[in-house]
């Protein structure tokens, strides 16, 4: 039962990053778009996001609900240690949602659009960056529940070179996904060429910064690189992700739509699977320097009654949510 619920939480995080991450990536992409093309790109992004952007947050809500119900000790530790980047992340989500609503649905297109656009793009960058800081802090394993200073307890776990590098890597991956997805959202050949060009740029950047994640982990005394090297499953995921770069690049050159989407999604999925595999069964890895043993799925699980009720709710909810979302995407994405 514990593994079943943890699987649901893992799938929710993966779907949030895969779908919601691309939404954030579209905003980041706009930050790096020449002014002459921003207006046209904005139309494509608004059209692509307007029907699904709110739905993608379902996965974040679901992951959080599962975490604080099924693994309350994990939720409490993460919410306490990382309350600063989590607060920034939540503020980013709210600002971004408000800015998108006003810039897309406001009947008056006046100078206020400038501010809406700035809020939208900056919060699109800030939110996944904060998420990356939390992920980096968790992977690095510097949580110290017995810390007596503010810096050791609430700053040092995430304010470090490794977490910042991972946060940049996450933003790059999201922007890469967005660039690939947007290729199929426009019939304008000039704009399509622009998205293809950007997708290849972000793909290249992901290779460089992905390598930097392992290097900074090494200098931060993290064993992340060794754990990937000694895990056949994670090593396979990294190897296959790298090999898929070639067909992904070729498919982009051929201006294909669905093949690059499938490949980019597959690459992101493999990265997440590789990470899950090296972390299992820990939800919070140990911090040997502080004598903290970490929390596994089994250490942090709630009582059997809670898990059984939650599992039943997840099964019933899935029967409602998945067909509904499939139908929504079919209506707004496949037919257009």
Which pLDDT value is given to residue 12? 93
As a whole number of angstroms, the distance between CA 336 and CA 332 comes to 6
Say yes or no to pLDDT of 79 above 70: yes
Does position 273 have pLDDT exceeding 70, yes or no?
yes
68 has pLDDT over 80:
yes
Percentage above 90 pLDDT, the chain: 60
**Could you tell me the domains of the chain?**
1-333 (1.20.1630.10)
The pLDDT value recorded for residue 222 is: 84
Listing DSSP states for 94-135 in one string gives: HHHHHHHHHHHH-S--STHHHHHHHHHHHHHHHHHHHHHHHH
Instruction: Grade residue 4 by pLDDT with cuts at 50, 70 and 90.
Output: very high
The predicted pLDDT at position 335 comes to: 52
d(CA 280, CA 303): 21
Average pLDDT estimate for 78-93: 95
pLDDT at 333 over 80: no
- Selected residue with higher pLDDT from 77 and 45: 77
- For the cut 60, the answer to whether the pLDDT of residue 65 exceeds it is yes
For 57-90, letters b (16+ CB in 10 Å) and e give ebbbebbbbbbbbbbeebbebbeebbebbbebbe
Dist CA 272 CA 266 (whole Å): 10
Neighbour-count burial of 291, counting CB atoms closer than 10 A to its CB (0-12 exposed, 13-18 middle, 19+ buried): exposed
Q: What is the DSSP letter of 231?
A: -
Cα-based angle 274, 280, 284 (whole degrees, multiple of 5): 110
Q: In a 10 Å sphere around its CB, with 0-12 CB exposed, 13-18 middle and 19+ buried, how is residue 174 labelled?
A: buried
pLDDT, tens digit, 9 for 90 and up, residues 224-266: 888 888 899 999 999 999 999 999 999 999 998 899 999 999 9
Q: Rounded to whole angstroms, what are the CA distances from 331 to 21, 52, 100, 325, 328? A: 21, 11, 22, 10, 5
Rounded to whole angstroms, the Cα distance separating 177 from 180 reads 5
Three-class SS state of 193: helix
User: Which pLDDT score, from 0 to 100, does residue 267 have?
Assistant: 93
Question: Considering only 49-58, 107-116, 139-148, 152-161, which range has the smallest mean pLDDT?
Answer: 49-58
Distance between CA atoms of residues 170 and 1, nearest Å:
31
Give residue 334's pLDDT. 62
Query: Each residue of 174-225: pLDDT tens digit?
Result: 999 999 999 988 888 888 999 999 999 999 999 999 999 999 999 988 888 8
Between 90 and 112, the more confident residue is 90
Q: Give the tens place of pLDDT for each residue, 133-185.
A: 999 999 988 888 888 899 999 999 999 999 999 999 999 999 999 999 999 88
Kindly report the average pLDDT of the chain as a whole number: 90
Quick check: 297 and 3 in contact, CB under 8 A? yes
- The pLDDT assigned to 120 comes to 92
**Residues listed for the chain:** 336
* pLDDT of residue 10 exceeding 70: yes
SS3 297: helix
What global pTM score does this model have? 0.92
Cross-strand partners of 284: 295
Q: Which of 199, 324, 319 is nearest to 265 (CA)?
A: 199
pLDDT of residue 283: 92
Distance CA 39, CA 143 (A): 44
Containing 241, the helix (H) or strand (E) segment is: helix 232-243
Cis peptide leading into residue 31 (ω within 30°): no
SS3 call for 55 = coil
Instruction: For residue 88, list its beta bridge partners.
Output: none
């Amino acid at each position: 039962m514990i593994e079943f619920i943890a699987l649901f939480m893992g799938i929710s995080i993966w779907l949030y990053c895969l779908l919601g991450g691309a939404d954030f990536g579209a905003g980041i992409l706009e930050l790096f778009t020449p002014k002459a093309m921003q207006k046209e790109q904005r139309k494509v992004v608004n059209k692509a996001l307007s029907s699904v952007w709110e739905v993608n947050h379902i996965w974040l809500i679901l992951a959080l609900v599962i975490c604080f119900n099924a693994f309350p000790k994990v939720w409490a530790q993460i919410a306490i240690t990382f309350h600063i980047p989590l607060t920034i992340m939540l503020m980013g989500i709210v600002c971004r949602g408000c800015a998108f609503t006003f810039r897309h649905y406001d009947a008056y297109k006046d100078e206020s659009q400038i501010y809406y656009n700035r809020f939208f793009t900056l919060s699109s960058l800030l939110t996944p960056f904060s998420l990356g800081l939390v992920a980096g802090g968790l992977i690095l394993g510097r949580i110290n529940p017995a810390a007596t200073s503010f810096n050791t307890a609430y700053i040092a776990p995430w304010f470090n070179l490794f977490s910042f590098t991972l946060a940049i890597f996450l933003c790059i991956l999201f922007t890469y996904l967005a660039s690939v997805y947007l290729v199929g959202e426009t019939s304008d050949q000039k704009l399509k060429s622009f998205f293809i060009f950007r997708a290849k740029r972000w793909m290249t950047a992901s290779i460089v910064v992905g390598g930097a994640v392992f290097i900074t982990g090494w200098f931060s005394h993290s064993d992340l690189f060794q754990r990937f090297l000694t895990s056949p499953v994670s090593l396979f995921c990294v190897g296959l992700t790298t090999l898929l770069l070639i067909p992904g690049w070729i498919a982009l050159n051929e201006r294909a739509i669905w093949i690059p989407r499938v490949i980019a999604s597959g690459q992101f999925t493999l990265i997440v699977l590789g990470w899950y595999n090296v972390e299992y069964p820990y939800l919070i890895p140990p911090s040997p320097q502080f004598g903290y043993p970490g929390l596994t799925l089994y250490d942090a699980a709630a009582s059997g009654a809670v898990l059984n009720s939650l599992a039943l709710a997840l099964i019933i909810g899935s029967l409602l949510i998945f067909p509904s979302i499939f139908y929504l995407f079919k209506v707004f994405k496949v037919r257009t």
